[in-house]
Structure formats: C-alpha cells, structure tokens
Chain A
Amino acid sequence: MKVLVPVKRVVDYNVKVRVKSDQTGVDVANVKMSMNPFDEIAVEEATRLKESGAATEVVAVSCGVQQAQETLRTAMAIGADRSVLVQTDAELQPLAVAKLLKALVDKEQPQLVILGKQAIDDDANQTGQMLAALLDWPQATFASKVDVAGDKVKVTREIDGGLETLELKLPAIVTTDLRLNEPRYVTLPNIMKAKKKPLDTVTPEALSVDVTPRLKTLKVTEPPVRSAGVVVPDVAALVDKLKNEAKVV
C-alpha cells in the first residue's frame, strides 16, 4: 500500500507573527519556517504504517515555493521514501491545493492520503476534506488512532465531547489531530540520508490545474488588544471584584 502525505511549509509555531503596516498580510521575511505541526504528525503516522508493514511506500508532497524542498527533506528525514514538489510562487488557497493533490493522487494511485487537519498559518482546516470530495473518497478527519486492516481503515476521531470511530473503505483520506502520535526527532544520519532520496518537481501547469485564488484578501489587521486588569491581593478581594465590579457571580 502506498501512502501519500501532503506537507506545508509554514511560519514556525513558536514565532509570533507581525501584521504588516500596509495591512497586506503578515511579515514572513526572515522568519523561521518549519513543517506544519499537524503535517509532521501525518508523516510520522505514515512512517509508522510503513515500519509496521501496513504500507510499502511513503511519498511526501508539497505545493508552493522552491524552499518547500526543505520541508520535503524533513519529511524524508522522518521516513518518507521520496517526494514531489508542485512548485509555484502563486498564492495557493485550499481548493487549489486540493486540486493539485488530486492530480498527484491520480498519478501516484495511493491507497491512503494522510494530511494534517489544518495549517497553522491560514487555519483553514479544509484541504483534506476537499481532496476527499474531489476524489469521491471517504474521509476521517481529526484522527487520534489509525488501524489499517485489509482493504479498510478504522479511524478514531476527536469530536466535540469525545471520540468516534469510523471504518472507511480504502482508498481513503485521513487528517491528523494532535494526539495521533508524537513525531520522532530527526537524527543527523537520517537528515543525511534524506538528502539522497529522490525529490521530483512539477508545476501546476504541467498538472493542468488552475490555481487562481477564489478569495481576495482585502486587508490583514491586528486583533483587538486586551489590556491587563488588576492583580488582587487575596481570594476575598477576588470574590468582591467578581460580585460587585464584574457582576459575573
């Protein structure tokens, strides 16, 4: 079974982003970039499927600028066997990415695609579900457990208020939630090995996919700032404030 894992290069999650003064976006110049954390969980899960014998090949793919090659190298250092970059400088929105991924799925014919549930930059939480729709495949989003058995995959999902288990017919789409696994640390020997693994590049044009954005960003602004209140000396003072000032108890 071949597993495809799409990964996205995003601003590192420890970076506090700044909104540009002209309100056109956030400043990503000279900011540390990393693999989207949910995608890292996806690569780890695919790698574990390969290590357990359930998968035979793990292919990492990414869509975006040339530097996304670094993200793919990281995926291969974790355990992906090879990778494909759909290279473009164009702004890519989730629907466009889902269409690019569909074109790659048509070519690669994986039985399972594991994606992060959302990217921590645009916070859209769309691509996996959109890809499932375009392929007419079943989906299990927000996975906390994945078991492949024969031509089916059983997935436990994190839902509001608890957990839910679904069984999907392969081929299928799974998106990862935080508790699915804890990604391994990549070791230097594996980073060296990853440099020698194959990385192919294609373009949206070569895949005949129109990636024109559908949403126009009119402006990007700072969120309203919440200012600090007062520090109270003890519990009695806190109760007094809650009762008489905030009137919430």
Chain B
Amino acid sequence: MSVLVIAEHDNAQLKGATLNVIAAAAKIGGDVHVLVMGAGAQAAADQAAKAVGVAKVILADGASLAEGLAENLAAQVLGLASAYSHILFAATSTGKNVAPRVAAKLDVAQISDIISVESADTFARPIYAGNAIATVQSQDAVKVITVRTTAFDPVAAEGGQAAVESVAAAADSGLSAFVGRELAKSDRPELAGAAAVVSGGRGMGSADNFKILEPLADKLGAALGASRAAVDAGYAPNDWQVGQTGKIVAPQLYVAVGISGAIQHLAGMKDSKVIVAINKDAEAPIFGVADYGLVADLFQAVPELAKSL
C-alpha cells in the first residue's frame, strides 16, 4: 500500500497545506510519496523531500504544468495512479478542481473533505455544512480523497530526506489555456493556514470600515476574513469569506467582529481553538460558540483592543 500526496506549492515554495495532507497520509499507513507538478518547481520538490514521513518525491516539471490547468494536472496524476492505493489532495481550490477529474477517470468515488481517517478505507467527512458528520467506507480499489487540512496537524517541515525523482511532464491537453491571475497582494498570512484570524461581518457597515480591523490583525499577525453577509454586501472580497461556501479555518485564535453567527459562518470557523466575539447584539448566535464574548460597539472596542495588545 502506497499513498500519493499531491503537493500544493507556487514552484518556489511548498505550501503548508501539503504538510497537513502528508499527516493524513501517514494515518492511512504505507509509503507516502509526494507529487510536485509545476514549472521550475525544483525548490518546492526539495522542500517536500525534507518533510517528515515522506519516502519519495516525484517531480513533474514542464510548461504544461505551469499554470495548474486541471486537464493537465489530472493527466499527470493518472499516469502515476496505478502504483497507489490512495491519492490525496488538499481540499483547496486546486485540489477540489483536480481530484474529481482523477477519480472519474479511474472510475472510483471521491471522498471529499475528510476530517479523520478511521481505517485505510473508512473516513469521516462533514455534510450539510458541518451540521452532520458522515462516516463512509470506500468500496473502490483506489481511494481518491481531498483532505480538510485544518483537521490534521501538519508533519514537521524539516527532518526528512527523501529522494527526488523526476518524471516527464504530461502533454498539454490543448483544451484550455491560462489567461491571467490576480492574486490579492498582502503581507498577511494566508487565511486558510493562519494562526490567528480577524473576521468582520455585516456589522462592519461598509468596506471602508473594514480598515479598522487592520491594526488588530497587525498586532495579532492575523489573516483577515469576512462572513458571507459581509461579502454579499460588497464590504470584503470573496476570497476572505469564511464559512461553508468559503474557506474553512481553524486558527489558534478567531476574532469575530460584527458577525451574528449564521450556521453557514459557524461551519467555517467553529473548530478554532479560541473564539472571541465582539458584537453589540447580546443575543447574536455567535456568542453561543465564543469562548470570550464582548457585548460592545465594535467601532470602540476593536481599536481599544488593538491598542491594549
């Protein structure tokens, strides 16, 4: 039994999510191999080789893999699939995009967004926005899985010394082409992997008012997030969205500011270690999950909190 982990990276840097997926792979058992697909991705492959628990890194490097097109990535994975009992992706926008393509080609079910490994063929996963947990058993020879990274503690990034083996990059499908990418530039940590998150809700009142969260986020070294209500209202960009339809986060500290706590938002953050809620409505459901609640006007409390830290 061998497990193939599909690495998340930007060629230069292996993304932290990969270490969480390696941890999930280690729970399944067997040899853990990591596949790095990219263009000029040697650095990412070398980092993957140092992760604890990795037996081998496979590097597929070529222009067809430069922009992460699903058709080409899936073809690359399929070329290697026969040697593995499990193929694991992070449940990120890349993993979710590619994994089902691999599963369908292998004619196997995919197990999405697993939060625990019960055995080599049995996994738990949230359904209905996390309002229920399903334990499912796969009947297929190959298990194609996406992993909710926040549910698995990452393996150590340093300490391993796996060999890096190169394979030829898959041919370009010719079906899709990359046009462009606009990534939000920010010195803040990535929302999905941040140790602290400060999120604003509809109570923020406007996009401009979101700025008052920045000094607090700076002090905490936190990523900024938002509720779906705030995103829908145009106060914050969609990639800040925390919740069932956005990102699932589980930081050490989650500060919910002006967020009422709709089910859909709670689904995205209730596994955080410590939750702080600041809201002027004492009846807001967010207080039902918060470790520390502060019933206050956020426009006074947030700057004061930032100053006090």
Contact = CB atoms under 8 A, between A and B. Distances in A.
Nearest to B105: A133
A95 B109 contact: yes
Nearest to A167: B177
A249 B176 contact: no
B129 A120 contact: yes
B71 interface: yes
Chain A, interface size category, equals: 35 or more
B308 interface: yes
A248 B254 CA distance: 10
Interface stretch (A65-73, A80-88, A197-205, A222-230): A222-230
Contacts of B176: 138-140, 166-169, 172
Contact of A229 (B100, B247, B293): B293
Interface stretch (A55-63, A155-163, A187-195): A155-163
Contact of B96 (A16, A120, A125, A249): A125
A124 B126 CA distance: 10
A226 B286 CA distance: 11
Given A95-B109, A215-B136, A220 B100 contact: no
A77 B244 CA distance: 28
Contacts of A218: 122, 135-137
Interface string B165-182: 000000001111111111
A241 interface: yes
A160 B103 contact: no
A38 B133 CA distance: 22
A154 B292 contact: no
Contact of B239 (A120, A121, A127, A158): A158
Contacts of A32: none
Interface in B118-146: 122, 125-140
A131 B304 CA distance: 52
B72 to A, nearest CB: 10
B100 A158 contact: no
Contacts of A179: 231, 238
B145 to A, nearest CB: 11
Nearest to A37: B245
A113 interface: no
Contacts of B181: 159, 162-165
Interface in A217-244: 217-223, 226, 228-232, 234-236, 238-239, 241-242
B245 to A, nearest CB: 6
Given A215-B137, A217-B136, A218-B122, A246 B292 contact: yes
Chain B, interface size category, equals: 35 or more
A177 interface: yes
Contact of B253 (A134, A220, A232, A249): A249
A236 B103 CA distance: 53
Contact of A123 (B244, B274, B292): B244
Given A125-B100, A228-B290, A229-B292, A249 B175 contact: no
Task: Identify which of B97, B174, B244 gathers the most chain A CB atoms within 10 Å of its CB.
Answer: B97
B100 A130 contact: yes
A166 to B, nearest CB: 5
Contacts of A16: 131, 263
A158 B93 contact: yes
Contact of A215 (B128, B130, B131, B139): B139
Contact of B131 (A17, A217, A230): A17
Contacts of A140: 176
Task: Identify which of A158, A177, A223 gathers the most chain B CB atoms within 10 Å of its CB.
Answer: A223
A248 B252 contact: yes
A91 to B, nearest CB: 12
A236 B304 CA distance: 9
A107 to B, nearest CB: 19
A209 interface: no
A134 B190 contact: no
A126 B91 CA distance: 12
A122 interface: yes
Contacts of B245: 178
B292 A232 contact: yes
B293 A232 contact: yes
Contact of B305 (A95, A139, A141, A235): A235
B276 A242 contact: yes
A123 B146 CA distance: 12
Contact of B308 (A160, A215, A235): A235
Contacts of A123: 112-113, 125-129, 244
A231 B101 contact: no
Contacts of B174: 169
Interface of A: 11, 13, 16-17, 19, 26, 93-95, 98, 120-134, 136-142, 144, 154, 157-169, 172, 177-179, 213-223, 226, 228-232, 234-236, 238-239, 241-242, 246, 248-249
